[in-house]
Amino acid sequence: DAGITQSPRYKITETGRQVTLMCHQTWSHSYMFWYRQDLGHGLRLIYYSAAADITDKGEVPDGYVVSRSKTENFPLTLESATRSQTSVYFCASTNSGNTIYFGEGSWLTVV
Amino acid sequence: QQQVKQSPQSLIVQKGGISIINCAYENTAFDYFPWYQQFPGKGPALLIAIRPDVSEKKEGRFTISFNKSAKQFSLHIMDSQPGDSATYFCAANKGYSTLTFGKGTMLLVSP
């Protein structure tokens, strides 16, 4: 029972580089989400997707790109990483829109 | 504009005591109010949730109290244990809209 998995779990990258965080879920959930967690800000929604090929912006989408070609995958790309994007990133999914299931997080450091 | 305000930011409770975390919301259309629990290094997980047609919901040592007129809801942890030490997030949404999270409360239960 894999559930929802994120990779890589830990990543250090340099300013200006492109980084892709992967998210895979085995439940065939319709909805998938990307959140970032920062001290003092809690969980902030970056992007979400209601189904394959349907994505929408959340609260803090600038500097991020997402795609959803398959229901089970929802990668998050930082096209040109900045230090302000140093954060913990959580992928999540749900079918009901209520109970959201989170992955274990990807710790990203931009130096 | 933050739609869900959570307090306190951090809380220290002695083992056996009662932990109380409060949240206030602004959008009267919200109809689902969950609490998520997050242990260090892990993703948040649903702990307990309530809908506005009831004023209280209890699951074991965890109780949500809901005050619709005041637009407030709170989490009570009875007989708090060191294993309850975690970050707690309140959240709210309406229907299938995305959840809006509070900023989180770091709870430490001292032995």
| Interface touch B44/A43, C-beta < 8 Å | yes
Alpha-carbon gap, residue B14 to B26, rounded angstroms: 32
CB A33 within 8 A of CB A93: yes
- Residue B31: both structure tokens together: 């109809």
pLDDT at residue A1 above 70? no
Residue closest to A74 by CA, chosen among A109, A45, A98 = A45
pLDDT tens figures, A44-65: 999 999 999 999 999 999 999 9
| Interface touch A58/B44, C-beta < 8 Å | no
Size of interface A-B (CB pairs under 8 A): 47
Report yes or no: B34 at the A interface, CB cutoff 8 Å. yes
SS3 B69: coil
A84: pLDDT confidence band, cut at 50, 70 and 90? very high
Which residues lie closer than 8 Å to B57 by C-beta, 6 or more apart? B48, B49, B50, B63, B64, B66
**10-residue block means of pLDDT along chain B (111 residues)?**
87 98 94 95 96 94 96 98 98 86 96 90
| Interface touch B41/A104, C-beta < 8 Å | yes
